[in-house]
Amino acid sequence: MMALGLNNAALAHLPPHIPGPGYDRGMHAPSIVHIGVGGFFRSHQALYLDDLLRLPGHAQWGYCGVGLLAHDAAMRDAMLAQDCLYTLVERSAHGDTARVVGSLLQFMYAPDDPQAVLEKLADPGTRIVSLTITEGGYYVNQGDGSFDASHPDIVHDLAHPHSPRCCFGYLAEALAQRRARGLAPFTVMSCDNLQSNGDVARAMLLAFTKLRDPALSAWLAEHCAFPNSMVDRITPATTDEHRLLLRQKFGLDDAWPVMAEPFKSWVIEDHFPGGRPAWELVGAHMTNDVLPYEKMKLRLLNAGHQSLCYIGMLLGYEYAHEAMADADIRQLFSNMMDIEVTPLLPAVDGIDLTDYKRTLIARFANPAVGDQLLRIGTDGSARMPKFVLPSVRDQLERGGPIDLLSFTVACWFRYLDGSDEQGRPLTLIDPLAAQLRELAQRGGANPGALLSLRELFGELSDAPRFVAAVADALARLYRDGARAALLHLLAKAK
């Protein structure tokens, strides 16, 4: 049987067990611009809106996706060839289900026509600009939280404000045009895994615009909203195996489908002066205080991912479920959550932490998802300071235990060396890859060179207990091997 290619015309021919959008996409307005169209956005925010658009009375909402980076050209080609339709497959132990998502109405590739993207952002019909630009896309100095004005992207966009390259450059130029036209600013909504992500987006954009035009920065500080949000859904990178599964099992030919676990969660600060979709009708939780939810998620789920991915790759595993099937890694993850993170978390309204942690274990162990450890370990220089080190700081302040968190840092350092214990190469994807690898190989079992990166570790570079704990763990990883070092750590925790 020939697979059905995706486009608007194909919607009328979808098999009965594969629901399509069910609404007239041509009648919906692309009033939300989303920058950073990747798998997670398409499995999460776009899905919530797709659910909403299936209800009557929401035609004023839809997404226009924007790609800023060179590698976004592949997504452009896939989405434009399919009228911006794509297939979402939810994978669980009970089987796979598929649906075609239609809430992404347009896709614009900024390098093709920067001015068209700026005009779309500045258009009065654009009410929200949402972001999934990764943790590293905010130009934060991880050591002290300041704005990295020396980054080449920022230097370029300050020198060429009307021809930007990076996200902040586009936002600033579009907002400057809106201000000149007497329009209100759009709401900037970060959907990245950052604690207080809206506050971070606000601080970094105001710092950028202050360097560009202090009057613009002051206008934004007074009038622009930056709601915080917490997002949660495990979404592995799409592979050719996923495309083949879609053709063979569902009869669809999709250049870029997206796979995801059944679980999803979205907590949003309800601060949208220009209006917003009624996300609460489709399962999102609107609140005045996102912090307890995101702190719980970042320090348990995201830090938990860091705790298992590097030791997992050192031990030769490729997928998260393989690592979780290893009783020692599973115990490391569980101990870190229970002993070193949970005591730091506030009570969260409506959440049972014990049940949440049990759910995390089941989610990470789901073999149907096939989440890659390499994906989880990508951009460690941005993720480690945001997910792991905040708990280290809190425990040091209260005189609490840090051995398990420090072991996670040491495993990252050992991974940065570039090969596992059998000499097999370990792929490193990180904006600081060359620097990190050079320091890791120069230092070997001595973590001093890597810990000296104050832009990542800040005052922890000089914290005696943390330095000693990382040094001890790293020495054991090199001297005794990953398994023996892990067993030694677990024995100490008993």
Separation of alpha carbons 271 and 248, rounded Å = 44
Burial class of 148 by CB neighbour count within 10 A (0 to 12, 13 to 18, 19+): middle
For 280, other C-beta atoms within 10 Å of its C-beta total: 15
Edge to edge, what strands does the sheet with 95-101 contain?
Answer: 95-101, 86-92, 258-260
Strands (E), 200-353: 229-232, 252-253, 258-260, 265-269, 285-287
Contact 313, 374 (CB under 8 A): yes
- Long-range CB pairs of 487-494 (<8 Å, 24+ gap) are 487/328, 489/332, 489/403, 489/404, 489/407, 490/328, 490/331, 490/332, 490/335, 492/403, 493/335, 493/339, 493/403, 493/404
| Single-letter residue type at 421 | E
Give CA–CA dist 403/488, Å, rounded. 11
User: What pTM does this model have?
Assistant: 0.91
458/478 Cα distance (integer angstroms):
25
Number of H helices, E strands in the chain: 23, 13
Give pLDDT tens digits along the chain (494 positions).
Answer: 589 999 999 999 999 999 999 999 999 999 999 999 999 999 999 999 999 999 999 999 999 999 999 999 999 999 999 999 999 999 998 899 999 999 999 999 999 999 999 999 999 999 999 999 998 899 998 888 899 999 999 999 999 999 999 999 999 999 999 999 999 999 999 999 999 999 999 999 999 999 999 999 999 999 999 999 999 999 999 999 999 999 999 999 999 999 999 999 999 999 999 999 999 999 999 999 999 999 999 999 999 999 999 999 999 999 999 999 999 999 999 999 999 999 999 988 889 999 999 999 999 999 999 999 999 999 999 999 999 999 999 999 999 999 999 999 999 999 999 998 888 999 999 999 999 999 999 999 999 999 999 999 999 999 999 999 999 999 999 999 999 999 999 998 76
